[in-house]
Structure 1
Amino acid sequence: MQDILTVLSALMPEYEEELIQRLDLLRLLSQQNKRLGRRHLAELLHTTERPLRTILQALKATGIVDINSRGVMLTERGLEVLNHAEYLTYEAQRRPFYQAEQGLRDRLGIPNCVIVPSKGLDEARVFEAMGQATEEVLLNHLHAAKAVIAVTGGATLSHISHGFSKRLSEGRQVTFVPTRGGLSASVEIQSTSVGSMMAQATGGDYVPLYMPENIDLATSEKLLEEPSIAQVLDQGKHADCLLLSVGTAEVMAERRNLNPSQQAEICEQGAVGEAFGTFFDKQGQVVLKYPRVGMQLEDLANIPLVTTIVAGSDKAEAIKAFAQLSPRLDWLICDESLAETVLNGVTLLK
């Protein structure tokens, strides 16, 4: 969007702010997918009713919104306009990073990647852009009329769900399924909660899985005898797509409540990252495998589309190692700070 706004700023600087306001309005109406009153809209957009009324009347005149006594709603034409604007935004954001993306693919030995801008942007905007980039990958590569998307937990996937839209479920049924039980971490970043958030953002369905993850082998085997639990986990292992993130060893050791001897072991062995209960070092060698209920690392080999979403320079070592360890990694969605750290001067980001 920066390229587009640069042109508009030069030609019509007085309209730049209003253009941003209109796009924010359309995004909000698309996400809500219901009629909203002007006062409520003004509150959500942090503006007042008077300027909002002027914008709404202009959009109504072009058939982008429908207004009646019950409130404002996005029309089909409005959704088409928004989708086209989002595509232009997405392409404009990507253009400066084409060379860096090629460098990152070569450095990690992966087939595809997308870098989104992050310098000078607040965290919420970065994650929203990563969500939009992830959605573009899914739109271009998920063609089934009924698509199952497996999701891991974690803060990153929780945040990117705000960049998803109803486009993903247009003309098809999309179902999100969790890949594991819950950690002792906050509920919002657990796998089943992330699936619920993504389903709500896209208008899709989700299958909940209410069970702990960090349990002993005997208990887990007992739980897997329960048909409803076994069915959900099996559905995740045979999904059309997997969305996952990778954590740093230090953070995940704390989140998984490793005992002192286990923490000492991963420290001594030089662990840099963790995924699917597996801690690994810089060479992508397994340091410690933590027993867990749900999808295992080796299951990735059987999933047609594996997409990894990672942000932050602190995860650079983890993603470099994971690229060596993972049996499959089709797409990497990352921010420019992580890309720059991974490349470390091999390809300059300009």
Structure 2
Amino acid sequence: MDSDLFELQSKLVPEMVDLLHERYRVLKFIETAGPIGRRPLSLMADLTERECRSVLEALRELRLIRVAKEGASVTEEGSRLLSSLGEAIDQWSGREALARNLTAKLGIRSVKIVIGDCDVNPSVKNLIGKEAAQQFMEGIGDGEIVAVTGGSSVAAVSPYIEVFDDAKHIHFIAARGGIGNEIGLQANVIAASFAEACGASYSAFYYPESLSSEAHEIFKKEAIAQEMIAKYEKTDCVIHGIGDAQRMAALRNANEEERLYLQEHGAKGEAFGYYFDENGKVVHRIRTVGIQTEQLLKVPLLIAVAGGSSKGEAILAYMASAPKQTILITDEGAAKAMLSHVTNKK
């Protein structure tokens, strides 16, 4: 649809814009999570069950979805419409302009913004995962070693990874040795899920918790550690999350002294076990074996995934020193929060 014509139509029938965005959003969620029942879909799309039923009926009559016993799923026609309409919707909604603006301000390769805010609707993380998976499958090319970090945002990517040409030559590894208690969100488990999704291989790397500095130096000389360090030097792609500094410290059961240190030194964001202040300076790092910030500079495909308005400052802190080839996949909540922080800082 011509953008000028759409603008004229929206002025004449302004409610058309809201209806278009609502149906597109619901259709996008069905594509991401389908087949899905009406009740979970209404929660995902933040609609009442009555509103959700109305939208589903309209989409079914347009033959954009099919409704069966197991729930609603997108038809081929619906998939084609989403594919062809996506760019226009991003333009009309202002997401395209917001993405361009942030890309320029952050000085990275690109920013991709999905609908919604993870803090308001956790299901938005699925949209981030789906977009990141697409970027990975399109960009990996003949890359062989892919390192992934832990965390819920990266874990949301693997369900949307599919078997693709030459996936068998890819080897997934953890971006750093596994630590922490949330087994399902550890890098080793997520690396395995990526490999299983596309028929690739993987190797686990476990780093013992609470090692002293002396034991850490000894562990680094072990064969398994040396093998992983060599792989980090040859990594072709990294998919990673970005965390809030204080929240990550709490998840790692950091003692009061360490948390106070992070607060006093202005730590805002965390990635790869490094803590960054608002200027991108590393103010602290945990003791582990993993990919180093200087090694990231040589990695051809870097995909960062993080969303939610509360993550705005954390993402900006990491992005202040992020490699220029980084692709950031985020949501509207985080994107608007970042732009607000950048604007108010001036």
CA distance in 1, matches of 2:187, 2:118: 30
Deviation per residue, 1:299-333 (Å, 9 max, x gap) = 21121111111111111111112111234452000
Q: Is the 8 A contact 1:130 1:335 kept in 2?
A: yes
Which position in structure 1 is the counterpart of 2:100? Answer: 102
Q: 1:122 to 1:84 in 2, by over 3 A?
A: farther
Deviation per residue, 1:182-223 (Å, 9 max, x gap) = 222310111101111222233332222233355333323333
Which position in structure 1 is the counterpart of 2:265? Answer: 269
Amino acid at match of 2:180: S
Residue 128 (structure 2) pairs with residue 130 (structure 1): yes
Secondary structure at the residue paired with 1:135?
A: helix
CA distance in 1, matches of 2:84, 2:201: 28
Residue 68 (structure 2) pairs with residue 15 (structure 1): no
Residue 234 (structure 2) pairs with residue 238 (structure 1): yes
CA distance in 2, matches of 1:207, 1:334: 28
- Choose the corresponding residue for 2:150, options 142, 150, 153: 153
Q: Is the 8 A contact 1:181 1:210 kept in 2?
A: yes
Structure 2 unaligned blocks of 5 or more = 1-19, 28-53
Normalised TM-score (structure 2)? 0.72
CA distance in 2, matches of 1:293, 1:224: 7
CA distance in 2, matches of 1:346, 1:287: 21
Alignment of 1:141-220 (within 5 A): 141-144=139-142, 147-162=144-159, 164-167=160-163, 169-173=164-168, 174-212=170-208, 214-220=210-216
Q: Is the 8 A contact 1:242 1:305 kept in 2?
A: yes
Deviation per residue, 1:37-75 (Å, 9 max, x gap) = xxxxx5xx358xxxx9xx9xxx9xxxxxxxxxxxxxxxx
Amino acid at match of 1:13: A
Q: 1:120 to 1:214 in 2, by over 3 A?
A: closer
Amino acid at match of 2:284: L
Secondary structure at the residue paired with 2:320?
A: helix
Q: 1:85 to 1:139 in 2, by over 3 A?
A: farther
Residues matched between the structures, number? 293
Q: Is the 8 A contact 1:116 1:336 kept in 2?
A: yes
Which position in structure 1 is the counterpart of 2:43? Answer: none
Deviation at residue 238 of structure 1 after TM alignment: 1.8
CA distance in 2, matches of 1:120, 1:280: 22
Alignment of 1:50-129 (within 5 A): 87-88=83-84, 91=87, 94-95=90-91, 96=93, 97-118=95-116, 123=121, 125-129=123-127
Normalised TM-score (structure 1)? 0.72
Alignment of 1:27-38 (within 5 A): none
CA distance in 1, matches of 2:188, 2:61: 40
CA distance in 2, matches of 1:121, 1:292: 30
CA RMSD across the alignment: 3.5
Q: 1:199 to 1:20 in 2, by over 3 A?
A: farther
